[in-house]
Structure 1
Amino acid sequence: MNRLAGMTSPYLLQHADNPVDWWSWSEEAFAEARRRDVPVLLSVGYSSCHWCHVMAHESFEDQATADDMNAHFVSVKVDREERPDVDAVYMEAVQAATGQGGWPMTVFLTPDAEPFYFGTYFPPDPRHGMPSFRQVLQGVHQAWAERRGEVDEVAGKITRDLAGRELSYGDDRVPGEQELAQALLGLTREYDPQRGGFGGAPKFPPSMVLEFLLRHHARTGAEGALQMAVDTCERMARGGLYDQLGGGFARYSVDRDWTVPHFEKMLYDNALLCRVYAHLWRATGSELARRVALETADFMVRELRTPEGGFASALDADSDDGTGRTVEGAYYVWTPAQLREVLGDDDAELAARYFGVTEEGTFEEGASVLQLPQLDEVFDAGRIDGVRERLLAARSARPAPGRDDKVVAAWNGLAIAALAETGAYFDRPDLTEAAVAAGDLLVRLHLDEQARIARTSRDGRAGANAGVLEDYADVAEGFLALASVTGEGVWLEFAGLLLDHVRARFADPESGALYDTASDAERLIRRPQDPTDNAAPSGWSAAAGALLSYSAHTGSAAHRTAAERALGVVKALGPRVPRFIGWGLAVAEALMDGPREIAVVGPALDDPATAALHRTALLGTAPGAVVAVGTPESDEFPLLAGRPLVQGEAAAYVCRDFTCDAPTTDPAHLRTTLSD
């Protein structure tokens, strides 16, 4: 076993028995490189990454390759999910140098952490114009030994170039109608009207953009925005991207038609999409959206929940195919023969038509990814349910994909928001209870006495890595959702503590721009800063949203100002690259709508009239509306102050832009008010 044996990251532990003398990212590793006067070989990946597993098996488990690495380098292994700051800094260098990026990421550094040679996956033998990994090792070692001055010059230039790539922030004016309309027009141009979604292959679920489209429609009535959201959600849910047996979404589709997924299942994707489909149901009443939201929530609780009450990061794409081979998608795909083995001839024929399983297959080796193709045939719902149950039971007997069971604070914040709202919308208190339990875990294990967040935990033990901006922002978002759903003001209080750190430690005091790492975090060759969404909302946009919601709850002008200053970047980027700043656009929609502040007061939280008004408030589609519920005597929510019952009955008060409507005791009237 090497030094990684004591780590908490499942990805690092996967390499603990490599013959490579791995180090974790640490000052000690770079000190060793200086002592030996050798380069640092930085390898970055994550546990559910297919090509990370491939390169590990081909190269890092190979003794001859390990001997080369150990002789000429200090090799450092990083889990990008534990250290997104390290990943972001060097991925920026890889993309700038090569025009592309991905994982595994392979970067060679000087002992001062300056990069000078880059790549991603390298094969064990020369292939398709790519050198073998050992050829790369030998070439870098030779350059270091024989052309050291040239290497140092290249490393210094790259580092200076990275340091000079500071974000041009522009002004801090918030986006208005013009920018939001331009963003919608840009999305319309990139929309795929035949298949849904945006752009070509590979096609990723556009979760944050869908939230913007739903909010824009709710505020403006733009039917085109709603139609793009409806069609995209239907095509994703009918395609192979969605697990038609067990619920939940895969990472992305390798094709434009959502047919063949990259089979890894990530917590953040499923949390975001669960919330999108719940919001789509809220806007349209779609039965498909209701089913997918609930099935995705159930998937997260069933397959990703940890014994401590948090949610694991991911399920692998690869698993044993039953013959000892590790194969991508083996757990999920079916052949006609496998259907017949489980279901018998008649039901297998039915299942093949219903799920689109063919003799030719839609995946590899004649297997098919289950889908729900549009068919004219009418199927017996009871029979289909029985078929699905039998197939799911048979699949559960297959070797399961591995699970990365580390708990990432940010992604748990996203899951908390999704489960809290889904539980409230669909009268599933078990889902809300799961959200509360995850919130309790974050407070108990991830927050210290100063409310600073640990990025990860595993097996009830907090990791050593400090939280980044997305951790503070997404957890605050989750806590604010819990406050609105449960009526427990302590969640609002915790959100405020986290947002105090955002304002004090992550914001530029001059411009209001936000950084991904805190002012007192470990110094890297540059301080990462990226307002654009990736697979999840950027920390920048997520912080703007949480700051705005908190200001609506509390009336804090300082938090609203911070949110507005952060949204200046959306004004600049929204019209130009709307696909990559969808959450920022969604937050801008909330700002344009107020956001609305809804206070529900009643004699008790379990009073039926109070509960009816509370549910109506939560189901309102006004973008970014905040909800507080309690008794007139409650001091947990500032929105409840001075809000009496109306003639002894529960009442709802709706305010925005410093103007309040007359209170109402009628849920139907409240519903109408929130749709105006």
Structure 2
Amino acid sequence: MQADHPQDLVTRLSQIDQSRLPADGGPEFNRLIFEKSPYLLQHAENPLDWYPWGDEAFERARRENKPVFLSIGYSTCHWCHVMAHESFEDRQVADALNPHFICIKVDREERPDIDNTYMTVCQMLTGSGGWPLTLLLTPERQPFFAATYLPKDSRGGMMGLLDLARKVTELWQTERSRIDQTGAQIRESLLRLEQTAAKSATLDAQSLRAARDHFLQSFDRHHAGFGSAPKFPTPHNLSLLLRIGQRFADQQAQVMALQTLQQMRLGGLFDQIGFGLHRYSVDARWLVPHFEKMLYDQALATLAYLDAWQATGENFYGQVAQEILDYLVRDLKHPEGAFCCGEDADSEGEEGTFYVWTPEQIRSVLGKEQGDILCHIYGVTESGNFEGKNILHLERDVAELAKETATPPEQLGALLGEARHKLLAARARRIRPHRDDKILTGWNGLAIAALARAAALLDQPALITHAAKAADFILEQLRTAEGRLLRRYRAGDAAIPAFLEDYSFFIFGLTELHQAGFDNRYLATALDLSRGMLHLFSDAQGDLYDTGDDAETIITRGRSRHDGAVPAGSSLAVLNLLRLGRLSGDAQLEQRGEDLLARLLPAAIQNPQAFSQLLIALDYALGPREEVVIALPDADARPTEMLKVLRQKLRPRTLVLLRRPDDAVLEHLAAPVRDKQVVDGRITAWLCRDQSCQAPVTSAEELEKMLAG
């Protein structure tokens, strides 16, 4: 086991003068020492002769006629660490693999194309998937075996890595033709999966009603969320339900979303001391989380809580959104302005150590009286609820607790806030989990969207500054001179052609940034990148691939259709094309969005819970779609009251353009503003609904009435 804390290990290895090392890393390292990924660097001192993914490794496999051992994971993955400590740091495993296999390590966050391809293989062969992902490939990159975590030694019916290596080494010599045949068959299955049906679906609201019914069937009426353990946040499901609730005045759809958001905040899934969401709950109650924290979860959850705040007007949801962003800015912000990938579940060699408490630890920080109160409120006991310690959680929100204790809510809130700050300061002295400090374009796009929307809705201008800094960093460091986006930045190095999800997520972030601050630069860039996206990823049949036509193809170019922890890139691309088509007046963009939506919709009709983001786009497409142009009489005019009207309720199908005097740039970008002038020298709002424009109004009250009509 490595003596370093993972963060210290990555820092130490990142500072080594690589120019003094031989091409294979030398006696102390393997070839991963030359990589930027924290996950790959964590394995650079393994005795395994690891290669990064690339032609060099496969050429050697062909030359020496050896199978490839492929391991895919990420740096904040608990079970990846377990397998690393048990096997990859073990000399016996190295002696079993190095002579007979070419070993390749992949960071799934850097290369989702590799991960998606071989995860599909794992699911085809085993019926399930997860990380670490373990594959055996031919030198032609064709898979013939797949699994997830494997122990070093066989146990409990699970084959161990040593036995697998011995068996495959023998089969490679005695039954190579059968292995090649298996690999070819799997490859053909992957190619068939990529073929898309030509049939398109009609855009109608019945698909949304059916989705609501699907969610209702799996809704947990006791603990909220959907299905049984484990439970994932999947915030885009909740954003969809809030839109369905609004469209059909469907209280049940709204209740499912709101109760889930409430339980997520109250349970151990939410870090009650430092804020932010953990990855998922291992139980049905949202109590015991898998403790890693991911950037995309924070961003998507913020957007869902903001939707709930607009849908209900209840401050609880806006407050949670603010709390999540407090964590994001405090702990995930990179010194250069963008945001890091996430934080590990483990510290001090154990999962959750950083986050759990005993009553004695709490009293030592707060004193007996305040400590006892906090222990009672957060369910902290001597016996504990997690390996003898306690995950802090709330059975009820602060308002209900205040009633129960006959304490004014403000007083109880202040007491808990003071205690939380003391515990946060005490916790900061613990050994912190490793932070993966890669910057990914797509995930930053989601964070930019969340920050920008929160800045606008919660009147927090500092948040738009954070969003703009992140966007500017991506545009300066992760966009080539030719305008092509790259996926990953770390330690001064930008690399890997961006994927469809990077384009769609980042375009979404830029669009939200424009809607929050009306900076024309971001609208112009979103439009430019959208047109570039269509050029790079189109299949000439109206559909999109995951990888660009200028990037490496891993058996196939991939078509990730289903939402997972993050929305499908193609689904968010649909929404972007529809919205930007309306903002710009570019009917071709809008038509591409509608065509892609119709093409993807048949699969969503069959399995709506896997296509929430696509159905969000459908909700927008069905309208009524509204564009509001606010014309200013002079550069100093502030349309504060009109923007407040537009932002105080959930209006997911309403877009806003701010027309400043003599704004030639916006007039060039956005056709809807070109004939919208100021009336009587006053701030003037023009509402166009489904391409039919109303008479202009000059007060917030008139605008509110018009929006309600």
Normalising by structure 1, what TM-score?
0.96
Selected match of 1:636 from 644, 665, 674: 665
Q: Deviations over 1:176-224 (max 9, x none)?
A: 1111111111111111121111111100012111111122233332222
Which one has more relative contact order, counting CA pairs under 8 Å at least 6 apart? 1
Q: Identify the match of residue 43 of structure 1 among 58, 66, 71.
A: 71
SS in 2 for 1:71: coil
For residues 343-375 of structure 1, give each alpha carbon's deviation from its aligned partner in whole angstroms, at most 9, with x where no partner exists: 2221121111111112222211x1111111125
| 1:352 equivalent in structure 2 | 375
Question: Which residue in the other structure is 1:491 paired with?
Answer: 522
Where do residues 374-523 of structure 1 align in structure 2 (5 Å cutoff)? 374=396, 375=401, 376-379=404-407, 380-463=412-495, 465-510=496-541, 512-523=542-553
Among 152, 165, 181, the residue aligned to 2:180: 152
Q: Name the CA distance, whole Å, in 1 between partners of 2:482 and 2:579.
A: 22
Structure 1 position 135 matched with structure 2 position 163 = yes
| Alignment partner, residue 626 of structure 1 | 655
Equivalent residue number for residue 689 of structure 2: 656
Match of 2:294 in 1: 266
What one-letter code is carried by the residue in structure 1 that aligns with 2:498? G
| More divergent stretch after superposition (515-524 vs 161-170) | 161-170
CA distance in 1, matches of 2:604, 2:147: 31
Give 2:463's aligned amino acid.
Answer: L
How many angstroms apart in 2 are the aligned matches of 1:603 and 1:420?
26
Q: How does 1:35-434 map to 2 (within 5 A)?
A: 35-320=63-348, 326-364=349-387, 366-374=388-396, 375=401, 376-379=404-407, 380-434=412-466
Cα contact 1:183–1:576 (8 A) shared by 2: no
How far did 1:605 drift?
5.6
Counterpart residue number, 1:323? none
1:290, distance to aligned residue in structure 2 (A): 1.4
Q: Which amino acid aligns with 1:436?
A: A
What is the one-letter code of the residue matched to 1:455? R
Q: Is the 8 A contact 2:234 2:566 kept in 1?
A: no
Runs of 4+, deviation exceeding 6 Å: none
Residue 200 of structure 2 contacts residue 602 of structure 2 at CA under 8 Å; is this kept in 1?
no
Following superposition, the deviation at residue 606 of structure 1 comes to 4.6
In the superposition, relative to structure 1, how do residues 507 and 675 fare at CA in structure 2: closer, same or farther (>3 Å)?
farther
Partners of 2:640 and 2:518 lie apart in 1 by 11
Which residue is 2:3 aligned to? none
Give yes or no for contact 1:605–1:611 (8 Å, CA) kept in 2.
Answer: no
Q: Distance in 1 between matches of 2:37 and 2:636?
A: 43
Relative to 1, partners in 2 of residues 1:88 and 1:141: Cα closer, same or farther, differing over 3 Å? Answer: same
User: Quick check: 471-480 or 516-525, which moved more?
Assistant: 516-525
CA distance in 2, matches of 1:389, 1:604: 45
Say whether 1:590 aligns with 2:620: yes
Q: Contact 1:248/1:296 (CA < 8 Å) preserved in 2?
A: yes
Per-residue CA deviation, residues 374-419 of structure 1 (Å, 9 max, x unaligned), is: 2533452222221111111111111111000001111100000100
> Is the aligned partner of 1:536 residue 2:566?
yes
- Shift of residue 604, structure 1, vs aligned partner: 4.2
Question: Distance in 2 between the 1:255 and 1:569 partners?
Answer: 37
Is the Cα contact below 8 Å between 1:69 and 1:75 reproduced in 2? yes
- Given that residues 194 and 556 in structure 2 are in contact (C-alpha distance below 8 angstroms), is that contact kept between their aligned partners in structure 1? no
Query: Is contact 1:531–1:569 with CA below 8 Å preserved after alignment?
Result: no
Inter-partner Cα distance in structure 2 for 1:604 and 1:266 = 43
CA distance in 2, matches of 1:622, 1:194: 30
Q: Which runs of 5+ in 2 are unaligned?
A: 1-28
SS of residue paired to 1:164: helix
Superposed CA offset, 1:84-141 (max 9, x none): 0000001100100000100000100000000001111111222221121111111111
Alpha-carbon displacement from aligned partner over 1:471-517 (angstroms, at most 9, x marks no partner): 0001000001111111111111111121112212212222x122111
In 1, the alpha carbon distance for the partners of 2:95 and 2:708 equals: 67
Tell me, what secondary structure is at the counterpart of 1:514?
A: coil
- 2:691 matched to 1:668? no
Q: In structure 1, give the amino acid aligned to 2:457.
A: Y
In the alignment, structure 1 residue 613 sits paired with structure 2 residue 642: yes
Within 1, Cα distance between the matches of 2:440 and 2:188?
Answer: 32
> Aligned partners of 1:261 and 1:332: how far apart in 2?
11
CA contact (8 A) 1:548 1:591 kept: yes
Q: Which amino acid aligns with 1:524?
A: I
Say how many residue pairs are matched. Answer: 667
CA distance change for structure 1 residues 223 and 606 in 2, over 3 Å: closer, same or farther?
farther
Rate the CA distance shift 1:634–1:159 in 2: closer, same or farther, 3 A: same
Deviation at 1:675, TM superposition (A): 4.6
Distance 1:272 1:675, change over 3 A: farther
CA distance in 1, matches of 2:707, 2:283: 40
Tell me what 1:14 maps to: 42
Partner of 2:17: none
- Contact 1:33–1:74 under 8 Å retained in 2: yes
Rounded to whole Å, the distance in 2 between the matches of 1:203 and 1:156 is 36
Deviation at 1:615, TM superposition (A): 3.6
Q: For residue 601 of structure 1, what is the aligned residue in structure 2?
A: 631
> Secondary structure at the residue paired with 1:627?
strand
Alignment partner of 1:548 out of 547, 567, 578: 578
Q: Which amino acid aligns with 2:427?
A: R
Shift in Å, 1:672: 3.9
Quote the offset at 1:46 in angstroms: 0.5
Asked whether the 8 Å contact 1:632–1:641 carries over to 2, the reply is no
Please provide the CA RMSD for this pair: 1.5
Shift of 1:558: 1.1
Task: Identify the match of residue 609 of structure 2 among 557, 579, 586.
Answer: 579
Is the 8 Å Cα contact of residues 201 and 602 (structure 2) preserved in structure 1?
no
Q: Is the 8 A contact 1:599 1:640 kept in 2?
A: yes
Structure 2 residue 590 is the aligned partner of structure 1 residue 560: yes
CA separation of 1:137 and 1:674: change in aligned 2, threshold 3 A? farther
Q: In 2, Cα distance between the equivalents of 1:605 and 1:425?
A: 22
Amino acid at match of 1:656: R
Change (3 A) 1:539 1:386: same
Alignment TM-score, normalising by the size of structure 2: 0.92
Larger CA deviation: 307-316 vs 387-396: 387-396
Kindly provide the amino acid, as one letter, of the partner of residue 603 in structure 1.
P
Q: Indicate conservation of the 8 Å contact 1:209/1:579, yes or no.
A: yes
The CA deviation at 1:75 is 0.6
User: In structure 2, do the counterparts of structure 1 residues 606 and 617 end up closer, same or farther at CA, with 3 Å as the change threshold?
Assistant: farther
CA contact (8 A) 2:634 2:661 kept: no
